[in-house]
Amino acid sequence: MVKCLSYVSESLIEVNDQLVQEFSDTFASQNFDFGINGFLIYSNSRFFQYIEGEAHRVDQLMKNIKADDRHEVKLEMHQFREGRRVDNWSMKYLKPSQLTEILKEDGLIDLMVMAAANPDMVVGWEKHCWRM
């Protein structure tokens, strides 16, 4: 089984597309070494990231992500599944419009994307979401 983790965070620094691409390139190199796959989206001062891999490696990565003072994690969810969704990306920077093309069958991802776009809704949805 593969652990899949999605989170939404709010940026605490000034960010532009070039900086997010640099983040993604750095993460891709690091993730490759640990067998982590995923993608990163940035929009309206919020990050959405999806990562997948062996559970202990995903858990360690999430600890590192939470320790990063450039952003604050607002919502996270995980699930286990057979096989990887994005096994050819160690970390890819996507535009928000590309997400539905990749994971349109996954209701969990839809919830996270809506939460990222509408942060006021996150509070009302917490009771319907599971947390780590």
Tokens of 47: 């990050």
Provide the 3-class DSSP secondary structure of residue 28.
helix
Report in angstroms the alpha-carbon separations of 55 from 51, 61, 106: 11, 10, 20
**In terms of Cα–Cα distance, which of 71, 68, 72, 85 is closest to 5?**
85
* pTM (two decimals): 0.75
Q: What is the pLDDT of residues 5-64, one digit of tens each?
A: 989 899 999 999 898 888 888 888 888 889 999 888 888 888 888 899 999 999 999 999
Q: How confident is the model at residue 131 (pLDDT cuts 50, 70, 90)?
A: very low
At 66 the pLDDT is 95
- The better pLDDT of the pair 88, 114 is held by 88
Q: How confident is the model at residue 117 (pLDDT cuts 50, 70, 90)?
A: low
Please determine, for residue 127, whether its predicted confidence score (pLDDT) is greater than 90: no
Please determine, for residue 111, whether its predicted confidence score (pLDDT) is greater than 80: no
